[in-house]
Structure 1
Amino acid sequence: MTGPDLIGDAVARSQSVMEVLIGCGVLADVGAVYRRRFGPGDACIIADENTWAAAGAAVERSLQAAGITTRTHILPATPRPKPTVELATQLRDILEEDDSAPVAVGSGVVNDLVKHAAFALGRDYLCVATAASMDGYTSAGAPLSEKGFKKTIPCRPARALVADLDVIAAAPAEMTGWGYGDLAGKVPAGGDWIIADALGIEAIDAIAWPMVQNGLDGWLSQPDRIAAGDRDAVEGLFLGLTLVGLAMEAHGSSRPASGADHQIAHLWEMDDLHHGGERVSHGACVAVGTMTALRMYDWLLAQDLTTLDPSLRAADAPSLAAKEAEIRDRFGPGEIADRAIVETRTKHVEGAALQARLTRLRDVWPDLSARLRARLWTADRMAQHLARAGAPVQAADIGVDPAYLYRTILKARFLRSRYTILDLLDEVGLLDQAAVAALPGAAQSRVGT
């Protein structure tokens, strides 16, 4: 089945997305799509200065040619708009001035802000994508920060998505690299879901899993052509990102797309990480989070967990109170620590329950490790592909030094209730060793808590 066929099938199953139009020159069709999905009512185009230049004016012309009355709101491009609930609320207030349907023209941040603002008003919106930079165009959630805490807020995805490949392929190469990094994160995220499935924590979804994992290797297979802006290769990348979003909607959570890689990335985003005078993008953070997770997987798969003593380890494992104290120590007081404690309480087990889980892990390890090796990429393989696609590879590429990386790894498991490799490593008492193994070689002997 081809990419467009998969998109069509996924849209047919979607509760919210009614149309996805991907092709060359399709900006001219935005007006027709709008009329099909929203009728003749007014539209409010929301973009930033860069995305307006890339596609906004053409979108406005197409809408007006279709008889749609438009108004516009253009955000500054420098500094890049922040993905925050506060900014989304400002856009909600602007939309509330009339009954116009929102038309988001942009990529990750613009889409997520408009998605949240539209949902708050009970309105559907149309999205015109301007870059293959992330997987959230068709997802039923907006990853935004609120009071400093990055979370994915449930929202309806766009009713219709239009992606002009001429615009997508002409986007800045670094943005396409971010999209490649975001898609690469589905490799370790798949490993995390395999672990959760094998331990009876969260079963693999027979619909959402193949939507992401079956085509993943192919979408990631042409990094050089993607970096060069080749339309066919970029189309494959965009199709993959779009299917990931639809898989998240189908599953009802971001599990198909997000694991330890995103937990690590979200911490840097919550820290408002800057490098080279700019805020580091989500996709760039995920690319480095992906490398970090895969290095830990490489290390884990070299261990023999069939020698694990579940009784002894369960007795030595930290209690919930000890974890809460660690959270307060690592995050400090405030909203982020409070939310991390809530997330950690949801997934924490100890005593007999932990012993039973570790017994199961010991027993299934031969089969589980084989499943992981069959699905995962090695860190070296991923590093080569990320570099060729123009995505960051090393933590230093985004301004993260080894000590900061080490602290991030140890904190990341507290950020979400989702079970990942970080939780497995923590429960078997190997997280610190794996975290050190994920650092650059020269740093492994000198980084400490």
Structure 2
Amino acid sequence: MTLWTSQMDGLIAPAVARSEVTDEVIIGSGTLDQSGLLVQRMTSMPRVLVCADEAGFTAAGRPVVDALEAAGFAVRTHILPIEPLPKASVEEAEPFRAALAEDQNLFPVSVGSGVINDLAKYAAFRTNRRYVTIATAASMDGYTSAGAPLTENGFKVTIPTRAPVAMLADLDVIAAAPAEMNAWGYGDLAGKVPAGGDWMLSDALGIEPIDDIAWPLVQHHLTGWLAGPEGIQSGDPDCIARLFTGLTAVGFAMEAHGSSRPASGADHQIAHMWEMEGHSYQGQKVSHGAAVSVGCVVSLALFDWLLEQDLGAINIHDALNRAPDLATRNAQLCKAIADPKIAEKAKAELAAKHALPEAHAARLESLRDVWPVLRERLTTRLYRHRAMADMLHRAGAPAYASQIGVSPEHLRTTLFAAAFIRRRYTIFDLLHDIGQTETAFTAVLPALSPDKFGASS
């Protein structure tokens, strides 16, 4: 029995049983012909809307339509073009939502990868439908999650929706996906390493406790899921299956916790800035997974710097005296984020997490007390950023900003902006609390180059 097949029984099946929404998950080779009967088990509606883009429909659409028709459904398709690539936005979901709103007996089925799944998930939620997702690539962790990370009015947010009632993944289709897509999924999964570090900081300071269901579902298995990264680039079926199983488990962890905290930290804040900018490289929009992959290495570099500090000896009085008030931080925010719509949304996030002097002092006292134990736990749990960059390189994923067309100056600007866009406590907020944001950024940025450690672009 392989690791992924044992985890289907030991991790995924219990997660399905625990889920309040998802009733069934099918992962295996040659499973597309089961899609019609799967949907039949999930709905009594007579008609199905297949939501896809041209790439997803080419990968799996025709067998899915045939299976649905064989199961007795009348099938409509709504297929988005891939030139330009569909955007993960509320506006882009509107055609799916409108089609569902016109027919109360139309059941949505998503056929595609991350963006299409999120658009269909949002459209289904807005029209009070359940939906089935059929995955075509191991490119991200959101297939089984309850949130849809979409841009709304220019600002990237994870919109609370509902997880799919069922998911099907044909591993033959997943393995045949473009190699870079599965590499993006590896990068998204790698981001759970620094995201776990962020959660450990928040837990240790009494801000957001670690969840004893979601945490082990992700963090206790990351090492196995990330092992053998070269198998992702070569398309090794077992490695791809293990990756997809891990991404599926992460989705269930987010559903169980009720937010994206188990999967998302400073690494995603960095990625979201580039996504909101619509950042492109070599004529293509940079994918979520590629952006997270780079954000993962940056976040781990910041943790590497942090672990070298003696925070047990922090001068609390000096840190408090140097701490800017909320008005000053809002001014810093507006300087870092040029888009006024994004800046306005970020101000609300900043206001929600800004600590007044008394709370700030208490937080620093806690940090000073727990630092020896916390540093040891972080050192044990986290990968060093150089090691992670090498793993990502072997998987075929980008590790450094220059590999997605982000200059050192752009990266520096991104880091200052990213620290403001989420109220979730991450390493960005700890650096602010100890008054070392600029010092840490200045220290790590020179190291974040593919030339430093032999990785190539």
- SS of residue in 1 equivalent to 2:358: helix
TM alignment of 1:43-442, pairs within 5 A: 43-98=48-103, 99-332=105-338, 334-441=340-447
The answer on whether the counterparts of 1:343 and 1:417 sit within 8 Å (CA) in structure 2 is yes
> What is the CA deviation profile of residues 373-415 of structure 1, one whole-angstrom value per residue up to 9, with x for unaligned ones?
0110000110111000000011000010001101111111110
RMSD, aligned CA? 1.2
Cα deviation for residue 333 of structure 1 reads 5.8
- SS of residue in 2 equivalent to 1:416: coil
Cα deviation for residue 90 of structure 1 reads 2.6
The answer on whether the counterparts of 2:231 and 2:239 sit within 8 Å (CA) in structure 1 is yes
Once residues 225 and 325 of structure 1 are traced to their aligned partners in structure 2, the CA distance between those partners, rounded to angstroms, is: 47
Q: 1:124 to 1:359 in 2, by over 3 A?
A: same
Once residues 338 and 220 of structure 2 are traced to their aligned partners in structure 1, the CA distance between those partners, rounded to angstroms, is: 41
Once residues 149 and 236 of structure 1 are traced to their aligned partners in structure 2, the CA distance between those partners, rounded to angstroms, is: 33
Q: How many residues align?
A: 443
Output the amino acid matched with 2:186: Y
Cα deviation for residue 147 of structure 1 reads 1.4
- SS of residue in 1 equivalent to 2:102: coil
Q: What is aligned with 1:37?
A: 42
Identity %: 54
TM-score (norm 2): 0.95
> What is the CA deviation profile of residues 34-76 of structure 1, one whole-angstrom value per residue up to 9, with x for unaligned ones?
1111135210101111111100001001111111110111110
The answer on whether the counterparts of 1:340 and 1:415 sit within 8 Å (CA) in structure 2 is yes
The answer on whether the counterparts of 2:298 and 2:448 sit within 8 Å (CA) in structure 1 is no
Specify every segment of 5 or more residues in structure 1 that has no aligned partner in the other structure, as ranges. 444-449
The answer on whether the counterparts of 1:131 and 1:167 sit within 8 Å (CA) in structure 2 is yes
Question: After the TM superposition, which parts of structure 1 deviate over 6 Å for at least 4 consecutive aligned residues?
Answer: none
Q: What is aligned with 2:452?
A: none
Q: What is aligned with 2:22?
A: 17
Q: 1:30 to 1:442 in 2, by over 3 A?
A: closer
Once residues 55 and 234 of structure 1 are traced to their aligned partners in structure 2, the CA distance between those partners, rounded to angstroms, is: 17
- SS of residue in 2 equivalent to 1:21: strand
> What is the CA deviation profile of residues 341-398 of structure 1, one whole-angstrom value per residue up to 9, with x for unaligned ones?
1111111113121111101101111001001001100001101110000000110000
Further displaced range: 247-256 or 349-358: 349-358
Once residues 14 and 279 of structure 1 are traced to their aligned partners in structure 2, the CA distance between those partners, rounded to angstroms, is: 34
Q: What is aligned with 1:446?
A: none
Specify every segment of 5 or more residues in structure 2 that has no aligned partner in the other structure, as ranges. 450-457
> What is the CA deviation profile of residues 116-141 of structure 1, one whole-angstrom value per residue up to 9, with x for unaligned ones?
01100000111000000000000110
The answer on whether the counterparts of 2:228 and 2:239 sit within 8 Å (CA) in structure 1 is yes
Output the amino acid matched with 2:406: V
Output the amino acid matched with 1:331: I
Once residues 339 and 222 of structure 2 are traced to their aligned partners in structure 1, the CA distance between those partners, rounded to angstroms, is: 40
Cα deviation for residue 277 of structure 1 reads 0.2
Further displaced range: 15-24 or 31-40: 31-40
Once residues 154 and 88 of structure 1 are traced to their aligned partners in structure 2, the CA distance between those partners, rounded to angstroms, is: 15
Further displaced range: 406-415 or 268-277: 406-415
